[in-house]
Homo-oligomer: A and B are copies of this chain.
């Protein structure tokens, strides 16, 4: 579905800062820049989400007509790829400080914040992952957080992947919950008024003993049906405890084999 020439063109757009603009200079000047198109795209996606993200809205925001956008980027999905790499580079990766645990927490928190700044990131499903400059920097920075702790190269990759997967899942829950309260055009009251009579009819008392007990406890503690931020911290703590178990096991094995430790 994707033409090879579009692929090459998108790659040169992704790496435009490194490559410069090697175009012939004939023809009228462009009224805006690729960067402006990308930033406008991000603004639209931030405001409306990815399903409602349209080329027309990007054009409107720039004072251009719809079809002009296609002289800047090959198409919608390529523009989204460019937006993703742009957003990854938005907040610089802070230098790593503290022990491995603090560093990994930083990596996870960085991704968590990013997902909440641009909730459409988790809606992106490109057929090919684009290899852009900021994505590459990100991976290098993530790996640096676990370098020098005695993990194998493979386990370094696995640990990073695990953190990223968990964070993505938790952020997805969080964003979905936020959308629920924010932009569903129906109020909590209306929602309960419509649901309660049916749920009462359909759930005999004692039908869901554990759900009832736990749901009540959770509801009282959270004052809501869930507390995504808290779930993120809880899960991350357990995950890092698990990493600690792995690191300890590695160190023990090294000692048995007679390898020196710092």
A contact residues vs B (CB 8 Å cutoff): 1-2, 4, 7-8, 11-12, 15, 18-19, 123, 125, 127-129, 131, 133, 136, 139-140, 143-144, 147, 152-154, 156-159, 161-162, 164-170, 172-173, 176, 179-180, 183-186, 190-191, 193-195, 198-199, 201-203, 208-211, 213-215, 217-218, 221, 226, 230-231, 234-235, 237-246
Contact = CB atoms under 8 A, between A and B. Distances in A.
A125 B179 CA distance: 9
A143 B211 contact: yes
21 contacts: A1-B184, A4-B194, A125-B179, A127-B183, A140-B210, A140-B211, A153-B218, A156-B214, A157-B215, A158-B234, A161-B226, A162-B166, A162-B231, A169-B169, A237-B242, A238-B242, A239-B239, A239-B242, A240-B242, A241-B246, A242-B242
Contact of A239 (B152, B218, B238): B238
Contact of A127 (B179, B203, B231): B179
Given A1-B185, A154-B214, A166-B239, 4 more contacts: A8-B198, A127-B180, A140-B208, A158-B235
Number of chain copies forming the complex = 2
Contact of A19 (B15, B18, B201): B201
A7 B231 contact: no
